[in-house]
Amino acid sequence: MYNGKKIVVVMPAYNAERTLEITYNEIPHHWVDDIVLVDDNSSDNTLQMAEQLGIKHILKHNKNLGYGGNQKTCYRKALELNADIIIMVHPDYQYTPKLIPAMVSIIESGLYPVVFGSRILSNGALKGGMPLVKYVLNRILTFIQNLLMGQKLSEYHTGYRAYSREVLEQINLTKGSDNFVFDNEMIALIFSKGHEIAEVTCPTRYFTDASSIGFKEGIIYSFGVLNVSIRYFLHQNGLMKWKLLKEPSSS
């Protein structure tokens, strides 16, 4: 609990056996009420590791749904647990859980309902091991997306995100993609509801055991995020109706 707010960490996990423990140990547990881990039908021992660590809420998909599908289960469970503030932490140890208190307090203060951990705000992305091609693509896509979406985020591609309960309840998560582009659709949904997104500087960490989107998935993702921004632009300017943004709220 933080000032009476229930804090829930959600971990969308896929083959995270080797990095789950180090990630879990870095969580400031006195800040966090519940941890939810959803195993996306991993082929390694992610599930056993989660049980061994004593994670209370472990859910398992019987087939691999993908990163977006995994998050849908994560948020549904967090809302069921009456979370007030929900933080997604990837279990591959690429984003430090040490920022949880900073992100939580920005939301709790009522200043912003959504907070992203940004690797681009500082100068450390390349030093932290982000491959040059990913860095350049991140910058180019972010530039185009800011223009199309009329925003000023430093990156649209971080996987470190915290949400207020109200935001998750307001947006229709079920309509989103089951794949990586889900994260970008979330951004479109959040902005379309008129919310602002805060950013905190987050160290970049790429290392051997970390999981990263592959080349083919990266290409699909890049076109996917451009598609999201173009549709958002057209929708917001009344030139086209985008079903994702048009749907009445439900969660």
- Residue 83, judged by CB atoms within 10 A of its CB (0-12, 13-18, 19+), counts as buried
Could you list the beta-strand ranges (E) of the chain.
7-13, 34-39, 57-60, 85-88, 114-118, 161-164, 197-201
Indicate whether 249 belongs to the interface with ligand GDP (CB under 6 A): no
Place of tokens 């491959």: 131
| The one among 126, 148, 213, 220 contacting ligand GDP by CB under 6 A | 213
Residues contacting residue 134 through CB under 8 Å, at least 6 positions apart: 218
* Residues 162-201: x where in contact with ligand GDP by CB under 6 A, - otherwise, as a string: ----------------------------------------
Of the candidates 51, 72, 212, which has an alpha carbon nearest to the alpha carbon of residue 133? 212
- Cβ 68 to ligand GDP shortest distance, Å: 8
- Cβ 180 to ligand GDP shortest distance, Å: 7
User: Other CB atoms closer than 10 Å to residue 189's CB: what's the count?
Assistant: 23
* Residues 55-94: x where in contact with ligand GDP by CB under 6 A, - otherwise, as a string: ---------x-xx--x-------------------xxx-x
Residues that bind ligand GDP (CB under 6 A): 12-14, 16, 40, 64, 66-67, 70, 90-92, 94, 159, 211-213
Residues that bind Mg ion (CB under 5 A): 92, 94, 211-212
